[in-house]
Amino acid sequence: MQTIDLVIAGIDWLITVDPGRRIIRDAAIAVHASKIVAIGKSAEIAKNYAGTRTVDGRHTVATPGLIDCHLHASFQLSRGLADEANAQSFLFDRMYPYEAALDSEDVRVSATLAGAELLKHGVTCFIDPGNYHPEASVEGVMSTGIRCIVSRSSFDLTKSVLGILPERMIESTAVALEHAETVLERYAKSGNPRLGASASFRGLNNASDELILGLDKLARKYGTLLQTHACFSYSTHDSSVARTGMAEIERLEKLGVIDERMLIVHSGWLEPQEVAILARRKPSLVCAPSSSLHNGYGNFLFGKLPELMALGVNVTVGSDHASSGIVDMPQEIRLACCCYKETRINPRVMPPETGIEMATVNGAKAALMSDRIGSIEVGKEADIALFDTRRPEWQPLINPVANLVYSATGDSVRDVFVAGDQVVANGRLTKVDENKLYEEIPVAVSRFGKHLKFDQMVQLRWPVS
């Protein structure tokens, strides 16, 4: 009998997402020194392992900790500020002014709320496309216990066909690259296993070739991923063609930066030759359902993600930002699966197993962390979510994969572990004082709100007395 740190036993259904995609009934997970040392039937594990700590997994479905491949931690305070806006207005009238108004304390509060909301919905790792206060972002996110890949995002072109960026967000190419390298130096090999860094340009229309090539070089130097938004609406596509004569993916191909360590967010509006490039180069792509649905970008009507997946491209899922409402991965998975069924008029498109893979093993691959997270397997870090099945939406529990994707929301997450460390217990965060956080939020909103025209941004149409 071996004494180890933690045994989670009696799990009703363990969805491993391991190479055999095993689902184990009455299962147990043995954890020691942050890693999974054994999984199996509860009775078998009990014969060999005694946990210094035990967690009762009865009435739960266990999954790998979910991976959100695209979430702006600094946008968590933007709910209600970007409704009913097309792509151009969303970016240039709402989100860029919001972003330019944030100071570092606002970003710390926003990032803390982001980590808190993600963890409470079963997410144990997320990729942030970056902001202008990466130190504050890291401080907030890391205080929650979640894993994160941070970035220092950059723009170096003031104008595009879509609009003009706020003064505070403009930098020269050299300064943008210098800031990006500072973040990579500090966080890419920080020694904190929950923290990583990436190189990021926020979009092609406000990025010069020099900036994109410089960031690609930095990503290679530090062995990290290179990420950007691309092809999220007809507007960004059209703007790219108007300025450069090339569609966005064509331009990235011409620059020679697309390969398997690139993460391209959205890719929901593609020309046929762009589909061919993505199928050949195989970057990871992020489906961001609620972002497209909230602002009507047409990513499901025109997106080619099911076809690209069939061609061997790694497709993941991301909740993008709180300004489109939900930051809830089980709901995002459901939207990804169901919206493609609806727009293709075909229920065989995107089965629930595909949705779960997008948010687990595919996410780990995109994060360049397949050897560490993404499935419940011996040797991997113990990132685990337990869903409470004693709730109406989980009943009857005949097919846990279907229930997780089609019925459940992240609200049914009971316990969450990151590297064996319990960060959510019975639905409550263990490392964050939630009451204090909820008091800090209105203070931050009134601070950054002074720089914004809320009367033009907020679409509250009914009288308030």
Residue ranges binding Zn ion (CB under 5 A) = 320
Q: How far is the CB of 265 from Zn ion (least distance, A)?
A: 6
CA–CA distance, 204 with 240 (Å, rounded to integer): 7
Nearest distance from C-beta of residue 99 to Zn ion, angstroms: 11
Q: How far is the CB of 129 from Zn ion (least distance, A)?
A: 6
Decide: 322 and 76 in contact? Cβ < 8 Å: yes
Nearest CB to Zn ion, comparing residues 202 and 304: 202
CB of 428 to Zn ion, least distance (A): 29
Residue 233 CB, shortest distance to Zn ion, in Å, is 12
Residue where the block lists tokens 């089980």: 330
C-alpha–C-alpha distance, residues 223 and 426, integer Å: 38
Supply the minimum distance, in Å, between the C-beta of residue 128 and Zn ion.
10
Considering beta carbons, is residue 156 or 320 the nearer one to Zn ion?
Answer: 320
| Least distance in angstroms from the C-beta of 90 to Zn ion | 10
Nearer to Zn ion, 83 or 411 (CB): 83
Please identify, using beta-carbon distances, which residue of 299 and 375 lies nearer to Zn ion.
299
| Closest CA relative to residue 263, chosen from 233, 241, 287, 296 | 287
d(CA 290, CA 201): 22
Q: 303: alpha, beta or left, given left = phi > 0 and alpha = psi -120 to 50? A: beta
Residue with smaller CB distance to Zn ion, 120 or 202 = 202
- Cβ-contact 158, 170 below 8 angstroms: yes
Closest CB to Zn ion among 320 and 440? 320
| C-beta of 320 vs 328, nearer to Zn ion | 320
How far lies 162's CA from each of 91, 99, 204, 239, in Å?
9, 17, 12, 7
Beta strand extents in 146-218 (DSSP E only) = 147-151, 159-160, 163-164, 195-200
Nearest CB to Zn ion, comparing residues 320 and 357: 320
The residue of the chain with the least Cβ separation from Zn ion equals 320
8 with 386: CB under 8 angstroms? Answer: yes
Whole-number minimum distance, CB 291 to Zn ion, in Å? Answer: 7
Q: How far is the CB of 127 from Zn ion (least distance, A)?
A: 10
Determine phi and psi for 250, rounding to 5 degrees.
-60, -40
Tell the smallest beta-carbon distance from residue 44 to Zn ion (Å).
44
Is residue 328 within 8 Å of 410, Cβ to Cβ?
yes
Q: How many residues does the chain have?
A: 465
Question: Which residues, 6+ apart, have CB-to-CB distance to 204 below 8 Å?
Answer: 212, 228, 230, 236, 240, 248, 251, 252
Nearer to Zn ion, 320 or 381 (CB): 320
Of 95 and 385, CB closest to Zn ion: 95
3-state SS class at 379: coil
What's CA 51's distance to the chain center, in Å?
A: 32
CA dihedral sign of residues 394, 397, 400, 402: negative
